[in-house]
Amino acid sequence: MKTIIAACSQNLSGSRASIQTALRTLLAAPWPSQRDIRSWLQLLSVLQWVLSFLLLGTVSLLLLIYLVFTSFWPISALYLAWIIFDWDTPEKGGRRLPCLRRWSVWRHFRDYFPVKLVKTHDLSPSHNYIIGSHPHGILCVGAFCNFITGSTGFGEMFPGIRPFLTTLAGNFRLPVFREYLMSGGLCPVTRRAIGYLLSKNGTGNAVAIVIGGAAESLSCRPGITTLILKNRKGFVRMALQHGAYLVPSFSFGENDLFRQVVFEEGSWMRSIQQRFQKMMGFAPCVFYGRGLTSVQSRGFLPYARPITTVVGEPVMVPKIEDPSCETVDMYHEMYIRSLLKLFNENKTKYGLSETDELHIL
C-alpha cells in the first residue's frame, strides 16, 4: 500500500510540474500586439467583403433550390413570394439601412488599404448629381468604400448629400444578395432606377456610376491609366434630362490592387471575354491578389495599396427633356475636360509621375 501511495504521489507531483511548466511556457510566449490584432481584423473585414460579393448570391440561390426538395420547402416558397412582391424596390430607391454604413467593420476595411476621400469642391443639397467614378479596376473598392460605407467621411464632407452606387441589374435578381446590396445604398445601373433617384427622391442625391464598366476592367493592371469613356454618353443624356450636375471622381491606386492576366486584342481569349461581357454584362477577368496566410502567397484578396478618391468640381447642367446629340456631345466634352483637369492636378500627389497621362478610349 505504501508503495502504491508513493507512486501516486510521484505521478501527481510530475503532473503538477508538467502543468506548471506548460503554464510558464504559455505565459512566456509573445502575445499578439494591438497592431497584430488590427491587422487580423482588417484582413477579415476584406475577406468577408470579397466573399459576400463573389459567393453570397450564388450560394443563397443554390441553398434555396436545395430547400425546395426538403421538408423546409416553405422557406423557398415564402422567399420567392417576397421577391415577386418586392421586385421593383431596387429601381425605386432601394431599402438602405443607415446603420449598415456605420458598421465598425468598414473602418477596418478602410484601414486595410487604406482608402481616403478627398473633397475639392462643395456639393449643394439643393441639386442632384451624377458622379462619374473612374477607373473601374477589378472590384471597384474605392467607389464602394467611399460611396456606400461611411468610413471615409462622405457624410461629413458633403452634408445633406445622399450617395448611391450603381451596379449590374442582374445582381438584384439573386436572393439575399439583393437585400445586402439595397441595404447599403446600391441600385441597378438602369435608366429607370437612376431616373427615380434624380427625379422622384427629392434633391441632394448623388448617384455614382462606374462609367467604364466591365469593358474597362479587362484592361485593368498596375501603372495603366486608360479609361473607356469616349463613346459612353448615356450618363450625360440622363444628367441633361433631369438637370443633374456631373461630378468627376478618380480613385488613384484602384488598378494596383490585383494582378491581371491581360489578353491582347484579337486573341481568342480576349474574344471570349468580350462575348461573355456582352451576354452577361460582366467580364470574366483572370486575376489574382494576395493569399489569406501571407502577402507572398497568391489568392483572391486585394493587395494592401493606398486608394485616394478625389471628387472634382461639378459641371453645371441645365434640364433639357429631349437634348440633341450636339448638346450631349458638348457636355460630354466638358465632363472629360473636368476629369482630365482633376487627374492632372492630383496625379503627382497620389503615386503617379508628372509624365503619366490619362488615356481615354
Q: Give yes or no for a contact between 111 and 127, defined as CB atoms under 8 angstroms apart.
A: no
Beta-carbon neighbour count of residue 274 at 10 Å? 16
Closest listed residue to residue 180, CA positions, set 54, 309, 307, 40:
54
CA 1, distance to chain mean position in Å, is: 74
CA 234, distance to chain mean position in Å, is: 22
Residues belonging to the chain: 361
Closest listed residue to residue 301, CA positions, set 76, 141, 134, 75:
141
**Grid coordinates given for 212:** 467604364
Q: Torsions phi, psi of 152, nearest 5?
A: -100, 5
Domain-by-domain residue ranges, the chain?
Answer: 34-210+226-251+308-360
Q: CA-based angle 259:265:267, to the nearest 5?
A: 95
Q: Torsions phi, psi of 210, nearest 5?
A: -85, 90
**Grid coordinates given for 175:** 436572393
Q: Per residue of the chain (361 residues), give pLDDT as tens.
A: 444 444 444 444 556 667 767 656 655 666 678 888 999 999 999 999 999 988 999 999 999 999 999 999 999 999 999 999 999 999 998 998 888 888 999 999 999 999 999 999 999 999 999 999 999 988 899 999 999 998 999 999 999 999 999 998 989 999 999 999 999 999 999 999 999 999 988 899 999 999 998 778 777 777 768 899 999 999 999 999 999 999 999 999 999 999 877 666 667 666 776 676 666 656 667 778 999 888 888 888 999 999 999 999 999 999 999 999 999 999 999 999 999 999 999 999 998 888 888 989 8
Q: Is the peptide bond before 125 cis (omega within 30 degrees of 0)?
A: no
SS (HEC) of the chain: CHHHHHHHHHHHHHHHHHHHHHHHHHHHCCCCCHHHHHHHHHHHHHHHHHHHHHHHHHHHHHHHHHHHCCCCHHHHHHHHHHHHHCCCHHHHCCCCCHHHHCCCHHHHHHHHCCEEEEECCCCCCCCCEEEEEECCCCCCHHHHHHHCCCCCCHHHHCCCCEEEEEECHHHHHCCCHHHHHHHHCEEECCHHHHHHHHHCCCCCEEEEEECCHHHHHCCCCCCCCEECCCCCCHHHHHHHHHCCEEEEEEEECHHHCCEECCCCCCCHHHHHHHHHHHHHCCCCCCEEEECCCCCCCEECECCCCCEEEEECCCECCCCCCCCCHHHHHHHHHHHHHHHHHHHHHHHHHHCCCCCCCCEEC
Q: CA-based angle 32:38:41, to the nearest 5?
A: 105
Q: What predicted TM-score, i.e. pTM, was given to this entire model?
A: 0.87
pLDDT at 251: 96
Residue listed under C-alpha cell 493569399:
291
How far apart CA 39 and CA 47 sit, in angstroms, is 12
pLDDT at 276: 67
pLDDT at 181: 94
pLDDT at 205: 96
Q: Give yes or no for a contact between 332 and 315, defined as CB atoms under 8 angstroms apart.
A: no
How far apart CA 334 and CA 233 sit, in angstroms, is 12
Beta-carbon neighbour count of residue 19 at 10 Å? 10
